[in-house]
């Protein structure tokens, strides 16, 4: 067994400095994982543009939700990637398994950069796009568990929180890198060209990152814990069976999901992705400005991943993760309302002085969620709500008698919609344009801004609020890799920790933007989508506090 493995088994190593080999392991694993997250999050950062190229033929609200669904599709299959690659990682080794995952991720991303649009190849475009997203999700499902396990098994006892915290920074750094490359492309090519074709450039850049990542990972040695287990003939012959079909381990898997990763995931995606969607789609902040605001907050808060990871070596993982879930759940409503106040005060003022109300027969209001792009939302209520959602205008609902043609009240002005089911395409478009023109005039008169005004925005306060949201992320995410590694024995560690992590982050977290945006579009309350992360963060706090074990003092070799 190597010197690293020997030191990892004894507590005195915690006081020694990091060795050159350990630094190499952390750097190589983290850098490759940064590139992989960069690939994965490019799509989320460009969801609105991708919607216009690959999901044509539906209204803007439905197209954006459809694009978010394709984004979420990558998250949906992450648990399956965890099962496939987790099993391989426990049977053939950590190093080669997560080398394969980065090849799949990089090539899938590059193909998105050359994929023809809906206008060129029709329905085949979104189908291929979703297949590529599924491949990305499968690859990421195997990547994180491999990188976290690999680093943790190199770390000395008493420093696993610190060492694995570097891996925890990679998701945020990958998002930061994707935003930076997108911003550079927008500045270099101009916004019009970027929307038309230059949005593909960041996807093609991933080929360069892929080559660097593969080269670096080829230089690494296998994990000392895995090598020791292999030499002693203790490898699992059936890691899936041992992980998920034997109650003692399955119980830990379920606890780590509902008492850990589910809450961690919704805090993560609220603090980074939903915040970005909220700025651009609801508050009307220009994409360039929003990207810069998010990027600055990420740059300020990222060191806290290391801080909380190291702190968890001293006071425990559980306390920090549970505190992060609770504080986030309590503070989301005031923070997002403050974002509205400081990022778009004109919108806040308009809502207060001239509230918008949709008056309609509830039976005539559809839930405008059309994943296959075939539904037709032409009822009077749908026409109003679609127009308001597209503009990010908050509204309340008031029930009207059955059969009433829906109307919208904006301050003292009331506009009546129209029923469009029986109208031809041209007639419907003409009436829709006429209604939209009247709506725009009424909103403008009432003081509703078309976009956030940079001159009125309190930029330092917006950055502070966004930074606070990311600090919540660092609290729940910084210590969780070490916690997951310490919960499971070496022979099934890759498999056992990967599945709950990716169900939590892939399903609970990955579907957050889609579900939250649809909730807002349905109710008209721009803050209503926050109930989604609040509910799951509180669930994790309760279950984790009552039942989750503290693991910081466990010897990860002792249970093998």
According to DSSP, the β-strands at 356-360 and 396-399 are parallel
- The lowest-confidence range among 15-24, 127-136, 477-486 is 15-24
Rounded distance, CA 176 to CA 289, Å? Answer: 14
Q: Residue 230: which pLDDT band, with cuts at 50, 70 and 90?
A: low
What is the structure's pLDDT at 7?
A: 39
Mean pLDDT of 50-79: 71
What is the structure's pLDDT at 358?
A: 93
Mean pLDDT of 514-534: 87
CB–CB of 160/7 below 8 Å? Answer: no
What is the structure's pLDDT at 505?
A: 80
What average pLDDT does the structure give for the chain? 83
Q: Which two tokens stand for residue 291?
A: 């990207």
Share of the chain above pLDDT 90, in %: 35
Q: Residue 226: which pLDDT band, with cuts at 50, 70 and 90?
A: low
In 3D space, the residue among 363, 530, 506, 354 whose CA is nearest the CA of residue 442 turns out to be: 354
Mean pLDDT of 492-506: 81
Share of the chain above pLDDT 70, in %: 86
What is the structure's pLDDT at 373?
A: 44
Q: What is the pLDDT of residues 511-523, one digit of tens each?
A: 787 788 778 877 8
- Crossing angle of helices 94-112 and 78-92, in 10° steps, is 150
| 13 has pLDDT over 50 | no
**Residue 534's Cα: distance from chain center in Å?**
16
Q: Residue 243: which pLDDT band, with cuts at 50, 70 and 90?
A: low
Mean pLDDT of 65-88: 75
What is the structure's pLDDT at 339?
A: 96
| 5 has pLDDT over 50 | no
What is the structure's pLDDT at 262?
A: 94
Choice between 152 and 532, residue whose per-residue pLDDT is larger = 532
| 46 has pLDDT over 90 | no
What is the structure's pLDDT at 77?
A: 82
| 9 has pLDDT over 60 | no
Rounded distance, CA 373 to CA 436, Å? Answer: 22
Mean pLDDT of 487-496: 81
Rounded distance, CA 191 to CA 185, Å? Answer: 9
**Domains of the chain and any CATH numbers:** 3-344+455-547 (1.20.1250.20), 355-445 (3.40.30)
What is the structure's pLDDT at 75?
A: 72
Choice between 370 and 243, residue whose per-residue pLDDT is larger = 243
First-to-last C-alpha distance (Å) of the chain = 15
Mean pLDDT of 386-391: 81
Q: What is the dihedral of CA 485, 489, 492, 498, to 10 degrees?
A: -20
CB–CB of 78/141 below 8 Å? Answer: yes
Choice between 503 and 91, residue whose per-residue pLDDT is larger = 503
Rounded distance, CA 374 to CA 437, Å? Answer: 26
According to DSSP, the β-strands at 413-416 and 396-399 are unpaired
Mean pLDDT of 334-344: 96
Q: What is the pLDDT of residues 402-455, one digit of tens each?
A: 989 999 999 889 999 999 888 888 898 899 889 999 999 999 999 999 889 999
In 3D space, the residue among 512, 519, 520 whose CA is nearest the CA of residue 71 turns out to be: 512
Q: What is the pLDDT of residues 274-306, one digit of tens each?
A: 998 899 988 999 988 998 899 899 889 999 999
DSSP for residue 18: P
**Residue 493's Cα: distance from chain center in Å?**
24
In 3D space, the residue among 374, 329, 308 whose CA is nearest the CA of residue 162 turns out to be: 308
Rounded distance, CA 169 to CA 306, Å? Answer: 8
Confidence (pTM): 0.80
What is the structure's pLDDT at 372?
A: 42
| 350 has pLDDT over 80 | yes
- The lowest-confidence range among 77-91, 222-236, 275-289, 498-512 is 222-236
| 177 has pLDDT over 90 | no
Rounded distance, CA 266 to CA 546, Å? Answer: 20
**Residue 257's Cα: distance from chain center in Å?**
17
Mean pLDDT of 57-61: 60
What is the structure's pLDDT at 4?
A: 40
Q: Residue 12: which pLDDT band, with cuts at 50, 70 and 90?
A: very low
According to DSSP, the β-strands at 356-360 and 407-410 are antiparallel
- Crossing angle of helices 20-45 and 201-218, in 10° steps, is 160
Segment of 139-153, 229-243, 541-555 carrying the highest mean pLDDT: 541-555
What is the structure's pLDDT at 10?
A: 40
């Amino acid at each position: 067994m190597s010197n690293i493995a020997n030191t990892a088994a004894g507590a005195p190593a915690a006081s020694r400095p990091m060795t050159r080999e350990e630094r190499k392991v952390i750097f190589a694993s983290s850098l490759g994982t940064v590139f992989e997250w960069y690939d994965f999050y490019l799509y989320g950062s460009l969801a609105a543009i991708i919607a216009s190229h690959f999901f044509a033929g539906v209204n803007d609200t439905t197209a954006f939700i459809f694009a978010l669904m394709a984004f979420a599709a990558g998250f949906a299959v992450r648990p399956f990637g965890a099962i496939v690659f987790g099993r391989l990682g426990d049977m053939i080794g950590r190093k080669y398994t997560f080398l394969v995952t980065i090849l799949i991720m990089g090539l899938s991303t590059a193909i998105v950069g050359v994929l023809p649009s809906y206008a060129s190849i029709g329905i085949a475009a979104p189908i291929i796009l979703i297949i590529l997203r599924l491949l990305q999700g499968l690859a990421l499902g195997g990547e994180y568990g491999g990188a976290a396990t690999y680093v943790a098994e190199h770390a000395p006892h008493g420093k696993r929180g610190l060492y694995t915290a570097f891996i925890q920074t990679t998701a945020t750094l990958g998002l930061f890198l994707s935003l930076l490359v997108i911003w550079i492309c927008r500045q270099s090519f101009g916004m019009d060209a970027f929307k038309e074709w230059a949005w593909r450039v960041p996807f093609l850049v991933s080929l360069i990152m892929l080559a660097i990542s593969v080269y670096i990972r080829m230089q690494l040695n296998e994990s000392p814990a895995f090598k020791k287990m292999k030499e002693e003939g203790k490898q699992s012959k059936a890691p899936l069976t041992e992980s998920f079909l034997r109650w003692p381990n399955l119980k830990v898997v379920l606890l780590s999901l509902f008492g850990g990763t589910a809450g961690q995931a919704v805090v993560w995606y609220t603090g980074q992705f939903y915040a970005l969607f909220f700025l651009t789609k609801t508050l009307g902040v220009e994409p360039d400005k929003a990207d810069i605001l998010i990027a600055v907050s990420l740059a300020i808060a990222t060191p806290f991943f290391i801080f909380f990871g190291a702190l968890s070596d001293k006071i425990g993982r559980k306390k920090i993760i549970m505190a992060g879930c609770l504080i986030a759940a309590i503070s989301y409503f005031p923070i997002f309302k403050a974002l509205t106040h400081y990022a778009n005060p004109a919108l806040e003022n308009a809502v207060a002085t001239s509230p918008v109300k949709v008056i309609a027969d509830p039976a005539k209001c559809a839930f405008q969620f059309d994943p296959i792009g075939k539904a037709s939302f032409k009822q009077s209520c749908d026409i109003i709500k679609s127009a308001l959602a597209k503009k990010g205008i908050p509204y309340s609902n008031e029930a009207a008698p059955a059969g009433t043609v829906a109307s919208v009240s904006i301050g003292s002005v009331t506009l009546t919609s129209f029923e469009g089911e029986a109208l031809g395409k041209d007639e419907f478009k003409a009436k829709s344009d006429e209604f939209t023109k009247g709506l725009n005039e009424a909103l403008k008169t009432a003081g509703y801004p078309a976009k956030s005004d940079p001159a009125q925005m309190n930029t330092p306060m917006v950055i502070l609020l966004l930074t606070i949201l990311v600090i919540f992320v660092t609290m729940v995410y910084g210590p969780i890799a070490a916690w997951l590694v310490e919960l499971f024995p070496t022979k099934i560690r890759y498999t056992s920790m990967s599945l709950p992590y990716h169900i939590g982050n892939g399903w609970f977290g990955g579907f957050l933007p889609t579900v939250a945006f649809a909730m807002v579009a349905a109710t008209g309350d721009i803050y209503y989508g926050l109930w989604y992360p609040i509910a799951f963060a509180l669930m994790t706090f309760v279950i984790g506090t009552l039942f989750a074990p503290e693991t910081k003092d466990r010897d990860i070799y002792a249970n093998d």
